[in-house]
Each structure stands twice: as C-alpha cells, then as structure tokens.
Structure 1
Amino acid sequence: MTSPSPQRGTYPVPGAARDEETVPRILITTDYLLPGDEVDHQLRAHGHTTVHAPQLARGGPDQLVAALDGIDAALVAHEPLTAEVLSAAPRLRAIVRTGVGYDSIDVAAAARLGITVSNLPGINANAVAEYTLGLLLTAARRLLQSASGVAAGRWPREDGHELRGSTLGLIGYGAAARAVVPLARAFGMEVLCTTGVPEHERSDPSVRFVALPELLASSDYVSVHTALTDRTRGLLDASAFRRMKSTAVLINTARGAIVDEHALADAVRTGEIAAAALDVVSEEPLPADSPLRDVEGIVVFSHLAGQTAEARAAAGREGAAEVVAALEGRPRFAVNAHLLPRTSRARADG
C-alpha cells in the first residue's frame, strides 16, 4: 500500500526513505530552464521529480490548476498565481520566483494556505544596472533614430547629449538601483534617489536622497527601480509628468503598471517630457491597441533587463537551492514568512 500524499505544510525528513507517492514533484515554468539542464540535475540530485511546463501564463487559470495538480513546489516565471489557483493545489507547499518581482503571486492567499513564497533578491541586479545605462546612452545619443534612419536610406546627424553633468533620478533603492549608482557616477552623473528604505540603510554618500517631487523636477533622466505595490501602482501619472523637465527622459526597467501609460503617451506627444525608454509595460507582449504605440519618442523593449546568460544561470541555481531549502522547511528568502500560520512560520524561520 502506498503512503498517503503529504499534507500541506509537512516536510519530509532529509535522507528518509520515500516511495513514489511522497517524492516531491517540482513544477518548472521558467522557459529558459530545460529538462536535463544543470537545474534539473540539481533538483533530481536531491531526490525530487521535475515537471517542465513553460509558457503556462498564456493558457489561463484552468491550465495553471491542471499543471499544479500533484505538485509540491513550483519554480515559476510570471504566471498569475491567484488565490483561486492556489486553493486548487492542495499539495503545493512552496513557490519560488526565478527573479525579484513577485506581484503576479497572491502572497497573502499563499500564506493563508501555508505556502511559502520566495524570490531571489538581487539576482539580476548587475544585468539590470548595465541595461539601464544602455537605455540612458541610447536615449541620450539618439542611437535608435540614427540606426532606423540609415536603414531607411537616410544619414541622420542630429546632436545627442552627453551623460556627464546630467542628473539621474532613481525611484527605488533596491539592489538594481544600487548597482546603477557607480555606473552612473563613472559617467559623471549626479544621482538623486527617492525611496522608502529606512535612513540608516542609505549609506552611499554619492547619492542625494530627496522626496519624489524634487526628484522629478530636478532630474534629466528618471529611472524606475521600485516594486509594484498598491502604493506604487500608477505612481507616475499626469501630475508626475507635469513636474518633470520638458527635456527629461523616463526609463522603466521595473514594472509597467507603475506608469500610467495613457498619461505618459500624452506627456511625450505634447512635449511635456522628451522621451521614454520602457523595458516593461502593463500588458506583455505589448497589445496592438496600446496607447504607447506610434508615439514618437517612446520606445518599448521586450522585457530584457534581467535577461543575460549570467543572470539566468544564477537564477536557476539559486532558485533550485531555494526550492530544496523551502521543502525542508528552511526557505532563505520567503517574502511572506511573517504572514504564515504559526506552525509554518516556525519552519520557515528555521
């Protein structure tokens, strides 16, 4: 007779004998993690079974529920793991995001169900920081306009701008924003930052911390690096753009919904601000009817900031390690540990 399926919130003893029914099954939805790769071997070496199902977000909640059937832990990308989806996955005990943002997961609902939710803080900070500087240079030197002009048979020679002597305003002071600071300073930029990070954690003397209105009014480039929360959703709206310089450029590598896209389109179209380079948008891929389309001065990229070979490899390794740790009751990066029921919280806290 086989043993019953483990209850949510219970953890197997490492090294104990387990039959097929109790071997943890790991769902992997991140599309760059493949059967037989390093991460797959890493999880199987710990006695887990892996199930790969990339691109699940496109299939709707029913497909997500079906994929989570019989799953103990999930290593996920941006799938919308709602309360409804999570409640239909009774074996699920741990979710790990192969990245930093976790706004696609209902973390409170997960906690009520005894499911730990982890992210990988700072895992792609260097990649995002370098990409941010790439967008700054692209905007400042009008590189896309030059390349598209040459492709169309012209030879554009309009002046660009140097970054040296300009002011960069960072919204947020997480790992990626902190990694931007020395790169921007190397280009001779002044760096401002607005953040909710406590003052005792703002230790960089090369950054001047200011309130958002002052940052918007003073910056030549505004770069978004904050998490998407109820407080930051739509943070950059029409009133924010009215505070910015008419020559200012907006850079967003964080989350699309932090920006009011209709207000941004109006602001660029009317010259209220000069331009925007967006790596993220509120709906991805960019829909045909997006207000951001066909606005001269707005360039949208395909969510590439954290997508380097190095960052992906690190995210895979660290994500797998977090899955193993979470299933053993000792997650390192649980973002909802404080919300878990007391028994699950004790396990999550080690």
Structure 2
Amino acid sequence: MARILITTDYLVPGDDIDKLLHRHGHETIFAPFTAARESSQQDALLSGFDGAIIASEPVTAKMLAAAPTLKILARSGVGYDSIDIPAAAALGTRVCNAPGTNHHSVAEMVIGLIIMSARRLAEVTTGVQQGRWPREAGHELQGSTLGIIGYGPSGRATASLGIALGMRVLVSTAHPDSNNNGVQFTDLDTVVRDADYLSLHTRGGQGIGRLMDESRLRAMKPTAVLINTARGSLVDEGALATALSDGTIAGAALDVLESEPLPGDSPLRGLDNVLITSHLAGQTIEARRRAGLAAAQAVIDVLENREPAHPVDL
C-alpha cells in the first residue's frame, strides 16, 4: 500500500479522487494548503509519502531531499512554476500536471471579467447595495479588439468566445494555428498596442519575467483593460498600480497575483478601476473534478510503472 499526500484544498476524503486511489490500494492523507505553512512543517511535508497530489504551494529541493520514497508529484492544475523541477529530476521523482482540464472555465472567467469591466458592473452593484441607483454607460464588446498573449488551451478557448461575441481577436504566440477560425496572429507589440482588452495566457518563469512592465503598460491604449488569469509573476504590480492611478490604462482584472492572498499593503488596494478575484478562474466544480482525477491517474500510473500522460520533468 502506497501513502499518498493530498494538499489541494478542494479535494476531500470520500470524493471521487479519494475513492479512485483507494480502489488501487493506496492510503490517502489530506493536508490542505490554505495558507503558508511553518517552515519546519513545509520542509517535512513530503517525508514518508510515495506520491503526492499538490496545489500551488512551493516544493523545494530541501523538501524533496527529505522525501526519499517519493516517486510522483502530481499537480491538480496546469502551472508547475512552484516546483523545483531540476531537483525532482535529479532525485528521480516524476512531476506531472493536468493540462486541458480547466481551459473552458478559465475562458469563461476571462469573458466574465471583460463584461464586468466593460459594463462597470462592480461599481453599479456596489452602488445599488449602498442605496444609490447608478446608471453607468458601459461599452459593447462587439467590434472591440481582444488581444491574447499565449495560445495554449485557455488562450484558444478565450479566442473562440471572443469571436462568438463579435470581437476582433489578435493573438501573439510562438505557435500560430493555421486553422485559426478568424484569429489574427501578429507580434506582441501589435497585440499590446491595439487591444481594447488584453488577456494573458502564457506561462511565467523560464526567463519571461515581468511581461507587463511599465513600458508595455504605457504602450497600451488609455481606454484598455488588462486581464490576467495566467501567472501573477507576469505583471509588475507596482507599475500597474501607477498606470491605473494616472490613467495610463482604464482598468485591470486580476485573478492571479504576485503574492496570494493580496497583501494588506498592496498598491492595488483602494483602486476603483481594478477587479481582483481569488485565483478562481479554473475553479469550477467540473474543472476541479477533471483536474483531480487527472492528478490521481498520474499517481496511479507512476506507482504501477506506467508512463504518465502529462509529465513536465522530461
């Protein structure tokens, strides 16, 4: 019997993922990641386990070195920036993610954030709750330009929804698709300059750094809105706060941040032209189940000496 650690906070004892692992003869131990752990607890988190299904908490070389029996780390999501992949590879610990499980959820969230920004819904609903009756004039999406940076599953799904809404869709990607169905592929600078709504769908890390820094924010239209559901590391939050305050851009909608939860001293606090959500874009009930099952299957495959479907350690 293998011991499997599960830290993803929405996975719980008795759910489909737990039942699947038990059917394959494994013991599950739940330690949900809801906030930063004490350093000693974090360092020993993986010790004594054969496999782990993890959320987005950091997995360091020190943690991996303390877990000599660990054979597989499975992310119940797409991103794996928080895992020390070289350290895992050096120890022979497989690392997998769960791509293609939440891209529809992410795309729907992007469009929802765009509509909220375009129609100023946060200001309107807050005003009504406060006893006022605001009659804000927003913007139609039809005929506006949706800029997308990155064209993986969530970028593609977002592009399809944008086209369905009558938007002109510009995409910057290293992998253009010949079957674009109305998407226009162009360079990054053009997408940033021409977008009315600029949505990020590219990975962080790997030398990308702050994709949206002061210079790129200043290259956007003053009427444009930045949407980030990808990685908090892609946006210079200090520069963004300045750009929002001085009217360089009209607004922003952020589902991911450099530090989560949003720190009390963040320069983004108190700004009325930024929408901030709590890393929810991929967190529908349907997507969570798909991602959890994919992670559990990766654990099962590795422990039963099969090649997992989505390794990221090669």
Look up the match of 1:291: 267
Look up the match of 2:290: 314
Normalised by the size of structure 2, how large is the TM-score? 0.97
Look up the match of 1:35: 13
Normalised by the size of structure 1, how large is the TM-score? 0.87
Look up the match of 1:212: 188
SS of 2:300's equivalent in the other structure is helix
Matched, 1:231 2:188: no
SS of 1:27's equivalent in the other structure is strand
Letter in 1 for 2:46: L
Matched, 1:156 2:134: yes
Counterpart mapping for 1:112-127 below 5 A = 112-127=90-105
Counterpart mapping for 1:136-285 below 5 A = 136-197=114-175, 199=176, 201-285=177-261
Q: Percent identity?
A: 51
- Point out the more displaced range, 201-210 or 252-261: 201-210
Contact 1:120 1:319 in 2 (8 A): yes
SS of 2:287's equivalent in the other structure is helix
Look up the match of 1:100: 78
SS of 2:226's equivalent in the other structure is strand
Look up the match of 2:309: 332
Q: CA deviation at 1:202?
A: 4.7
Letter in 2 for 1:131: M
Q: Structure 2: 5+ residue runs without aligned partners?
A: none
Contact 1:57 1:64 in 2 (8 A): no
SS of 1:117's equivalent in the other structure is strand
Cα distance change, pair 115–69 in 1 and its aligned pair in 2 (3 A): same
The separation in 1 between residues aligned to 2:278 and 2:126, in whole angstroms, is 18
The separation in 2 between residues aligned to 1:173 and 1:321, in whole angstroms, is 26
Contact 2:71 2:92 in 1 (8 A): yes
Letter in 1 for 2:312: V
Q: CA deviation at 1:282?
A: 0.6
Contact 2:119 2:136 in 1 (8 A): no
Within the candidate set 46, 51, 75, 2:29 is matched to 51
Structure 1 segments of 4 or more deviating over 3 A? none
What count of residue pairs does the alignment treat as equivalent?
313
The separation in 1 between residues aligned to 2:149 and 2:128, in whole angstroms, is 35
The separation in 2 between residues aligned to 1:284 and 1:75, in whole angstroms, is 20
Letter in 1 for 2:219: R
Q: CA deviation at 1:209?
A: 1.1
Cα distance change, pair 61–86 in 1 and its aligned pair in 2 (3 A): farther
The separation in 2 between residues aligned to 1:332 and 1:241, in whole angstroms, is 38
Q: CA deviation at 1:57?
A: 5.3
Q: CA deviation at 1:30?
A: 0.6
The separation in 1 between residues aligned to 2:185 and 2:10, in whole angstroms, is 38
Larger Rg: 1
The separation in 2 between residues aligned to 1:67 and 1:107, in whole angstroms, is 17
Contact 1:65 1:89 in 2 (8 A): no
> After superposition, what is the alpha-carbon deviation per residue over 1:10-60, rounded to whole angstroms, capped at 9, x for unaligned?
xxxxxxxxxxxxx21110001111112211110011111111110275213
The separation in 2 between residues aligned to 1:27 and 1:150, in whole angstroms, is 46
> After superposition, what is the alpha-carbon deviation per residue over 1:192-216, rounded to whole angstroms, capped at 9, x for unaligned?
111122x4x4531411111111111
Look up the match of 1:132: 110
SS of 1:192's equivalent in the other structure is strand
> After superposition, what is the alpha-carbon deviation per residue over 1:264-305, rounded to whole angstroms, capped at 9, x for unaligned?
000111101000011111100000001111122112111110
> After superposition, what is the alpha-carbon deviation per residue over 1:45-80, rounded to whole angstroms, capped at 9, x for unaligned?
111111111027521342133331210110000110
Letter in 2 for 1:243: A
Matched, 1:81 2:56: no
SS of 2:312's equivalent in the other structure is coil
- Point out the more displaced range, 128-137 or 313-322: 313-322
The separation in 2 between residues aligned to 1:73 and 1:106, in whole angstroms, is 16
Within the candidate set 303, 319, 324, 2:279 is matched to 303
The separation in 1 between residues aligned to 2:199 and 2:38, in whole angstroms, is 32
Contact 2:251 2:274 in 1 (8 A): yes
CA RMSD of aligned residues (A): 1.2
Q: Structure 1: 5+ residue runs without aligned partners?
A: 1-22, 338-350
